[in-house]
Amino acid sequence: MNKIDVKDVNFYYGNFQALKGINMQIQEKSVVAFIGPSGCGKSTFLRLFNRMNDLIPDTRMEGQILIDNEDIYAKGVPVDELRKRVGMVFQRPNPFPKSIFENVAYGLRVNGIKDNEFIRHRVEETLKGAALWDEVKDKLKESAFALSGGQQQRLCIARAMAVSPSVLLMDEPASALDPISTAKVEELIHELKKDYTIVIVTHNMQQAARVSDKTAYFYLGEMIEFDNTKKIFTNPSQISTQNYITGRFG
Amino acid sequence: MVKFIESELVQLKKEVDEMWTLVYNQLDRASEAVLTLNKEMAQQVIVREKRVNAFELKIDSDVEDIIALYNPVAVDLRFVLAMLKINTDLERLGDFAEGLARFVVKCEEPALDPDLLKNIRLEEMFTQVLSMLETAKQALNEESLEIATSVFAKDNLIDEINGDVTKKLVDYIGKNPESLSLCLNLISVFRKLERSGDHINNLAEEIVFYIDAKVLKHQGKTDENYPQNNNK
């Protein structure tokens, strides 16, 4: 079943066309990786899925993006509600200057949940889901800044998960992490796809190969190839894709 | 822009090419040694076998380094995997050359009966094996699917010659009972050449895998009409 359906999407920063005629279907509970050189439009495309680009002035989108068959750019769609369903994790861990517990509880409280027992239960459940519980259960009241970079990033993933989204967007989630933390985040992605649809932007080709079911290669705002990850990394259909993944690009 | 991996792959191809030439020369000399029962030449083949083994280890090690250090993908990965398997097949061909040379060293006859040689088509068999090996090498150098697949057809002749030889040798033994030991050894020579043909077929299959990402092995008799049939 398709979770996300992208139809003829064009996107503009002012007069500059950053995305050109993108069509894509993303299956539910799968991991899709976007790869491509800097400036190819992959992060721009990712941010369309929770309307993060709405915050950038003088931008414009054409086409349709459907999540659960609902046009997320239709008039009257509440963006706050959309972002509850479509969580996002950024390149650098960005925990709030609060305790570990409150970082995860934040989204719940903002959404008006006041039942402390429910919040406590949900924080524990989410931290377990983010494979962080065992490392932080005895220091939930300590500052999130006391955690390592890798732990902070998993905390941010837990924070995104706390409001029960069904889609997680990850923009280079492990690029600022050491190899051990990266491996933990990748294992986590593997676990999370049982419950979530995950779209990840990465510059790390091996990471895309390891974690994703399908991979899309972008170049100059166009989606050059979108196929099973195994196919992309063993025998891509497009020479441009092959040149990029084998390092012969440019 | 020159990439690190590019120069590593070029170097690997160069080494495999050298190994290929070495193994070709081994089989060529073994051929001459067998056909003329030249013990001196056979000894040279046996001595040079150590070089083939050393080459195999060097290429294995280089492939391991490339995979560990450069994480090749797509066509690069297929190339590296193909070189690894080609290396193994070439080493086996080197073993066969050595085995043929040992036949010559142990052979107590001063010369082989020319009529027998003609009848069992031994020289033709050697020529065909060497031709297959040369063609496969050309396929790799020119990265040509067409040339690679032409190797498969050549293997048919080898199988045909090998299929007839046992009966011919049995007939010969019937007329020349004192040649029993020699003829049994000749069956072993044919067996080695037939297996050489199979290994050269493998080389061609690996070249097809590298160029076209198609796996042809274990599909019964390799389709000599590939890729035309594949596209139907």
Residue type, B100: L
Instruction: Name the packing angle between helices B39-70 and B4-36 (round to 10°).
Output: 160
How far, in Å, CA of B20 to CA of B24, rounded?
6
Q: Check A246 against B72: CB less than 8 A apart.
A: yes
Q: Indicate whether B2 pLDDT > 50.
A: no
* More confident of the two residues B220 and B166: B166
Distance between B111 CA and the closest CA of chain A, angstroms: 53
Provide the pLDDT confidence category of residue B81 given band limits of 50, 70 and 90.
very high
Contacts of A206 in chain B (CB under 8 A): 71
pLDDT in tens, A5-18: 999 999 999 999 99
Provide the pLDDT confidence category of residue B215 given band limits of 50, 70 and 90.
confident
pLDDT in tens, B170-184: 999 999 999 999 999
Q: Indicate whether B222 pLDDT > 80.
A: no
Task: Identify the pLDDT of residue A248.
Answer: 82
> Is the complex ipTM higher than 0.90?
no
Residues near B76 by beta carbon (within 8 Å), at least 6 away in sequence: A246, B5, B9, B70
Radius of gyration of chain B from Cα atoms? 19
Instruction: Please say whether the beta carbons of A28 and A197 come within 8 A.
Output: yes
β-sheet with A222-228: strand ranges across: A86-89, A167-171, A197-201, A31-35, A214-219, A222-228
For A50-71, what is the mean pLDDT?
Answer: 95
Going by DSSP bridges, is the β-strand pair A167-171/A59-67 parallel, antiparallel, or unpaired? unpaired
Q: What percent of chain A has pLDDT over 90?
A: 87
pLDDT in tens, A21-49: 999 999 999 999 999 999 999 999 999 99
Provide the pLDDT confidence category of residue B232 given band limits of 50, 70 and 90.
very low
Q: Indicate whether B224 pLDDT > 80.
A: no
Contacts of A245 in chain B (CB under 8 A): 73-74
Q: Check A246 against B71: CB less than 8 A apart.
A: no
Instruction: Name the packing angle between helices B4-36 and B122-142 (round to 10°).
Output: 170
Q: Check A246 against B73: CB less than 8 A apart.
A: yes
The structure's pTM equals 0.82
Just give the CATH number of A2-95+165-246: 3.40.50.300
List the domain boundaries for chain A: 2-95+165-246
Task: Identify the pLDDT of residue B63.
Answer: 96
For B128-155, what is the mean pLDDT?
Answer: 95
Helix (H, G, I), strand (E, B) or coil at B99: helix
Contact status of A35 with chain B (Cβ, < 8 Å): no
Contact status of A243 with chain B (Cβ, < 8 Å): no
A136: phi then psi, degrees, rounded to nearest 5: -125, 0
